[in-house]
């Protein structure tokens, strides 16, 4: 009997100690030591960027984006595979002889990858139209097949999501409309890349879907709609669509005041809610501020976390491009904002399960130059990953940028230790790239969108000036002028109607850079 009593006491003491340490560790979760951020860059001497990332089948990372340093055209799909620590394993390029831009990547059911973007390398028309372009590679980066859908006018794919039948839906924008403006655009494909249907959505102005996901056997697409705004300017746009492409419901949202809002990202939060991230542009101050909100599956707002109404200073820029679900019901948003060590930084910001801002987790990654954050992931090992581009580090003008946090830092104290690893790629530089791109040239343009006045800056030490050419979305040259290196070139585009345009920077008839701009007249 005494032995039994003693064993019970020991068991009770062990249980109490276990409960104490468990609750004590939970209480101390915000008092963990400062975390370490590991920076990795990949690329060559020209412009390279990452637009999306997935966890690879071996727990490493697969990054996709665009390069002008390597490949067989002006720009090519750039695919980089790393291990779980960010160390480079392999990389390759895909595309044709012109311009190819990768924006999204998905894992397939047969342990391969689907890479999605757009290209004008495979256009069947004399106008060299951009078309949705997507391909499948195996685990080692070998090309299995590639497809291009030419609608006879410029079309772009910006996002994708996996379907229950092992196929995918792509989202983006197309100018194949009767009005000549852009419609939001969906393409459903089967697992072999064959098109099952394409659908267009919107009105008589420019509309776009930037991101898409699946919940409860419905598609939820988000973007911006200028055709039916609530306040006279393009508004955030949410749409619920069935698996046959039929529009079931939509919601146009003006978060505050006469702003130009757009949603860039959508991620399911739980069984009934999804989180969106984007930005609101203030035309009166040329200011862009972030938007974060949660909605239920009926497209009713559950909570607006950040509404885009806080103007820090004139010319301020902040935009969210990816929403990550992390631990304890928290979320992490990846984007770009002013206020890093230099002009702009890759920005990570955390909110807890009650939508409260986490003060110790607002982190601008990068250096003294411009760095951009476009996507990220929360890994199976509890790591937070962000990807984009950096001009602060690496081998060239812009390099692919990967930020890896040492732990689930959403619950840690501030990050104050940084370790930088740069990898200079050894892929071949094709003759097409040599012919069409000048090395060591970085071009930035702001504000974008703009009401007509735009600043253009070319960082370069090789040539004193370049030629700027302005084109419509149909390829019509509208104007040109000389612009100067290492100077603030003010471009007056007030004569343009509201819409989308393209600017090329050229040197001796060689294209150095091509940029997409948006003119707003509201």
Residue spans of the domains in the chain: they are 33-424, 440-519
Tell me if residue 148 falls in helix, strand or coil. Answer: strand
Percent of the chain with pLDDT over 70: 83
Mean pLDDT of 107-133: 88
Q: How far apart are CA 391 and CA 376, in angstroms?
A: 19
Under CATH, what is the fold of the domain 440-519? Immunoglobulin-like (2.60.40)
H, E, C per residue of 17-81: HHHHHHHHHHHCHHHCCCCEEEEEEEECCCEEEEEEEEECCCCCEEEEEEECCCECCCEEEEEEE
Domain pair 33-424 / 440-519, same fold: no
254-263, 354-363, 366-375, 469-478, range with the lowest pLDDT: 469-478
Number of C-beta neighbours around residue 205 at 10 A? 17
362 or 104, which is more confident = 104
Q: Is the pLDDT of residue 54 over 70?
A: yes
pLDDT for 428 equals 62
Q: How many residues comprise the chain? A: 522
Residue pLDDT, tens place only, 439-468: 456 677 778 778 888 888 887 666 788 899
Confidence of residue 135 (pLDDT cuts 50, 70, 90): very high
Question: Residue 501 corresponds to which tokens in the numbers above?
Answer: 């345009």
Alpha-helical runs (H) found in 288-353: none
pTM of the model: 0.79
Quick one: which of 268, 271, 237 has its CA closest to 254? 237
Kindly report, residue by residue over 321-376, the tens digit of the pLDDT.
Answer: 999 999 889 999 999 988 666 678 898 889 999 999 887 777 888 888 889 999 99
**CA 50 – CA 387 distance, rounded (Å):** 6
Structure tokens at 43: 């690329």
Question: Who wins on pLDDT, 396 or 8?
Answer: 396
Which CATH number among 2.60.120.260, 3.30.420.10, 3.40.190.10, 2.130.10.10 corresponds to the domain 33-424? 2.130.10.10
Q: Which run of H or E residues covers position 356?
A: none
Task: Phi first, then psi: give them for residue 420, nearest 5 degrees.
Answer: -110, 130
CA Rg, the chain, in Å? 24
């Amino acid at each position: 009997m005494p032995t039994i009593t003693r064993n019970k006491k020991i068991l009770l003491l062990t249980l109490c100690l276990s409960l104490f340490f468990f609750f004590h560790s939970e209480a101390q979760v915000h008092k963990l030591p400062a975390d370490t951020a590991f920076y990795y860059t990949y690329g060559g001497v020209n412009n390279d960027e990452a637009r999306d990332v997935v966890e690879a089948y071996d727990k490493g990372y697969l990054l996709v984006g665009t390069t002008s340093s390597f490949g067989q055209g002006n720009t090519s799909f750039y695919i980089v595979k790393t291990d779980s620590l960010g160390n480079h394993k392999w990389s390759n390029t895909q595309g044709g002889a012109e311009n190819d831009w990768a924006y999204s990547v998905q894992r397939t059911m047969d342990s391969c990858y689907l890479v999605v973007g757009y290209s004008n390398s495979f256009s069947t028309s004399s106008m060299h139209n951009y078309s949705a372009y997507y391909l499948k590679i195996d685990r080692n980066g070998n090309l299995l097949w590639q497809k291009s859908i030419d609608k006879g006018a410029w079309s772009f794919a910006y996002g994708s999501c996996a379907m229950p039948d092992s196929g995918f839906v792509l989202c983006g924008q197309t100018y194949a409309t009767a009005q000549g403006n852009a419609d939001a655009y969906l393409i459903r494909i089967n697992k072999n890349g064959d098109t099952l249907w394409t659908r267009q959505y919107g009105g008589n102005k420019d509309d776009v879907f930037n991101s898409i996901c699946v919940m409860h056997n419905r598609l939820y697409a988000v973007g911006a709609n200028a055709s039916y705004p609530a306040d006279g300017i393009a508004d955030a746009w949410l749409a619920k669509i069935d698996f046959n492409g039929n529009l079931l419901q939509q919601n146009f949202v003006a978060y505050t005041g006469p702003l130009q809002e757009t949603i860039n990202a959508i991620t399911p939060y739980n069984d009934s809610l999804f989180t969106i991230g984007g930005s609101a542009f203030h035309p009166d101050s040329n200011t862009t501020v972030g938007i974060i909100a949660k909605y239920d599956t009926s497209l009713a707002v559950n909570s607006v976390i950040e509404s885009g109404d806080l103007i820090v200073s004139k010319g301020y820029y902040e935009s969210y491009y990816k929403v990550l679900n992390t631990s304890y019901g928290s979320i992490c948003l990846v984007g770009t904002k002013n206020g890093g060590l230099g002009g702009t930084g890759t920005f990570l910001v955390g909110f807890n399960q009650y939508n409260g801002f986490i003060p110790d987790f607002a982190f601008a990654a990068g250096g003294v130059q411009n760095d951009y954050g476009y996507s990220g992931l929360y890994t199976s090992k509890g790591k937070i990953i962000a990807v984009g581009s950096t001009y602060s580090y690496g081998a060239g003008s812009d390099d692919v940028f990967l930020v890896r946090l040492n732990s689930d830092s959403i619950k840690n104290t501030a990050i104050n230790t940084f370790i930088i690893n740069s990898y200079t790629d050894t892929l071949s530089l094709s003759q097409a790239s040599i012919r069409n791109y000048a090395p060591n040239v970085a071009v930035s343009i702001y504000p974008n969108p703009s009401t007509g006045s735009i600043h253009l800056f070319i960082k370069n030490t090789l040539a004193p000036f370049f030629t700027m050419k302005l084109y419509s979305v149909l390829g019509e040259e509208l104007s040109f002028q000389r612009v100067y290196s290492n100077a603030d070139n003010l471009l007056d585009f007030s004569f343009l109607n509201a819409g989308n345009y393209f600017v090329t920077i050229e040197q001796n008839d060689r294209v150095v850079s091509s940029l997409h701009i948006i003119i707003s007249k509201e």
